[in-house]
A and B are shown apart, each in its own frame.
Chain A
Amino acid sequence: MEDYEGLVGLIQQGNFAETQNRVKALLDEGKLPDQILQRGIIAALDIVGKKFSEGECFIPEMLVAGKASQKALEILKPLLVRSDFKPKGKVVLGTVKGDLHDIGKNIVAMMLEGAGFQVIDLGYDVAPEKFVEAIKRENAQILAMSCLLTTTMISMKNTMDALRQAGLFGKVKVMIGGPPTTDEYAKKIGADFRGKDAYKGVEQARFFISP
């Protein structure tokens, strides 16, 4: 486990360059890519996510840890593909129509990717039909939607309606997040889960996929 501790620390600090160097060094030592993912990246983001959820770590620190994990994944991804690595599941994700606030969404995307999911990030201001199209195209198991404003929250409902029309309702697990969202709202629109924060979202994604 010691081998990976350095990497876990570097990701937590958001040290992009050293994170990449450390990943290369671990590969040179003969460590397997999926082990580096599991014991380095997933372990680091789990610590950061948990600390964030408990109010011991804050958004700037979470962002830089997420970015550092992306830097590590840049190196690992091609190797993982070659080694027949199976992602945990596929998540289509985006900030809903009318809303350009994407930092929360970006953190969730990085955390999910760092947790071994394949993430199809549609960006912000994503129309309901774009979500539907991506879920079909990618055969995704999970849809994750984000919003910041009360006046854009309705786009989540509109997207649920589009899922119903496309016959995807019940076939894809839906989670929502963002300040105005509540458990009741999730229930009302037929979403499966509302995440209070990024860490809770990742935990739930794991649960959705678990056999």
Chain B
Amino acid sequence: MSHKEVHAMKEMSSRERVMTTLEHQEPDRVPLDLTITLGAYTRLVKYLGLESMVDPEPKIANWLTYVPIDQKVLEALDIDIVHLGSRPPKGHPKEFPDGTTVDEWGVKRRRVERPGGGFYLEMVENPLRDATIKDLDDYPWPDPHDPAVLEGLEERIRWWYENTNYAIQVWLERGGLGEQAGYLRGIEQWWMDLALDKEFAMALMNRLCDIAIEFNKVCIELIGKYVNIVRFTGWDLGGQNGPIFSPSMVEKMFKPVLKRQWSTVKSFLHNVNPRAKIFFHTCGSVYRLIPTFIECGLDILDPLQTTAAGMDMDRIKREFGDKLVFHGAMDIQKIMPFSTVDQVKNEVRLRIRQLAPGGGFILAPAHAFQDDTPPENIVAMYRAGKEYGRYPIKV
């Protein structure tokens, strides 16, 4: 047995590593996670020399152009988590000759190229823009029981569970509350609804919450036993300089729906898999909202946007580190796209020092890598994460 193999035997599997950290204990090293958009992925695959084995241009998974990550890429970067999920219903999104698409909710999008690299499918029409509270009854909502969405889901996830040691994060992408409301109404109109027509806003969020819970339930019955992390559809509650919404609005309007979704889904989940955790993505300056998330039953908070106001990692770890697992923290506004490899490594060291002690930290980008992020910075981040993330933390 070579020296290398002896060393390897002492290592935890990715799944053990993630589960250990999710239970607020120190694993062998900090787990690593990756989300990435198409253009950055294409360049990463080529940079890693994997293009003969890995499709560098897979089909995008959502309007943000996230891509499913090939197992060879996961291996090359020592990533510990595989992201799996449900697929859109048959025939969705509908594609039109002018390049626009309409998704299962009726939201129309068009491809918009970014001068700095990549593209998004941006909203151009919102189906409920002029709706009244009565119209909500007549709207053709997605069917949470649609068999096409569930087709192959169990087999796919079971395959990864049985044949690999990756921790499994499942995206149940029909569960957006406030974010989906914004897509249906148009974000500006939706934010005004929240201030001016609370009855309508609550009716819409409750409707979305019903669909989300039902869909989450159906999925969890199928696949809950294989899953380590259930990722809810994100809802950005923070801006760069402060929360987007007032603390009282979050308390009175958002907390009831978040709590209803999270506690209900968590109880389904724990019936089949008591160790599985729930994950919520919310960008920006959300320090003031963290106690609310904890009260609503959250386990894992993503993405810790360190560049936003009040997102002081030392303080957040000190105040909430025993209750929440932190996922993210690698800045994608300045560090990852625009810094040198050495600056990236220093940032990794800093975030590990602040967040990793005692477990409860998964190093990941603070949003999917965008097309402006050089592959050498991405590789440097994961290499440094592996090196500095070894417990006990000594960086």
Contact = CB atoms under 8 A, between A and B. Distances in A.
* Chain B binds chain A: yes
Interface of A: 14, 55, 57-61, 63-64, 67, 97-100, 102-103, 106, 125, 149-155, 158, 179-180, 182, 196-197
Given A63-B188, A100-B122, A106-B188, A58 B116 contact: no
B241 interface: yes
Interface stretch (B16-24, B49-57, B95-103, B189-197): B189-197
Nearest to B333: A180
Given A150-B370, A180-B333, A197-B241, A63 B116 contact: no
Mostly, the B contact residues are loop
Contact of B112 (A58, A100, A180): A100
Contacts, number: 86
A150 B338 CA distance: 9
B234 interface: no
Interface string B321-335: 000000000001110
A146 B186 CA distance: 19
Mostly, the A contact residues are loop
Given A67-B192, A103-B191, A150-B370, A58 B115 contact: no
Interface in B192-236: 192, 194-196
B108 to A, nearest CB: 13
A60 B194 contact: yes
30 contacts: A14-B192, A14-B196, A58-B242, A58-B245, A60-B246, A61-B195, A63-B188, A63-B195, A64-B192, A64-B196, A67-B192, A97-B115, A98-B113, A98-B116, A100-B122, A100-B123, A102-B188, A103-B187, A103-B188, A149-B116, A150-B337, A150-B338, A150-B372, A151-B370, A151-B371, A152-B114, A154-B116, A158-B115, A179-B239, A196-B241
Contacts of A61: 195, 246
Contacts of A58: 242-246, 249
Nearest to B370: A151
Rank and list the top 4 A-B pairs by shortest CB-CB distance, nearest first: A151-B116, A60-B195, A151-B114, A179-B240
B195 A64 contact: yes
B299 to A, nearest CB: 27
Contact of A152 (B115, B240, B246): B115
A42 B42 CA distance: 50
Given A14-B192, A63-B188, 18 more contacts: A58-B243, A58-B246, A60-B192, A60-B244, A60-B245, A97-B115, A98-B115, A99-B114, A103-B187, A149-B116, A149-B370, A150-B333, A151-B371, A152-B114, A179-B240, A180-B333, A196-B241, A197-B241
Interface in B244-272: 244-246, 249
B115 A151 contact: yes
B117 interface: yes
A59 B112 contact: no
A189 B203 CA distance: 46
A57 B338 CA distance: 33
Interface in B337-395: 337-338, 370-372
Contacts of B113: 98
Nearest to B250: A58
Interface string B107-148: 000001111111000110000000000000000000000000
Q: Interface centre among B122, B194, B195, B371, by most A CB within 10 Å?
A: B195
A149 B114 contact: yes
A93 B244 CA distance: 23
Given A98-B112, A103-B187, A151-B118, A59 B196 contact: no
Q: Interface centre among A58, A61, A63, A179, by most B CB within 10 Å?
A: A58
A103 B239 CA distance: 12
B116 A59 contact: no
A151 B192 contact: no
Contacts of B240: 179
A124 to B, nearest CB: 9
Contacts of B246: 57-58, 60-61
B118 to A, nearest CB: 6
Contacts of B239: 59, 179
B363 to A, nearest CB: 20
Contacts of B333: 150, 179-180
Contacts of B337: 150
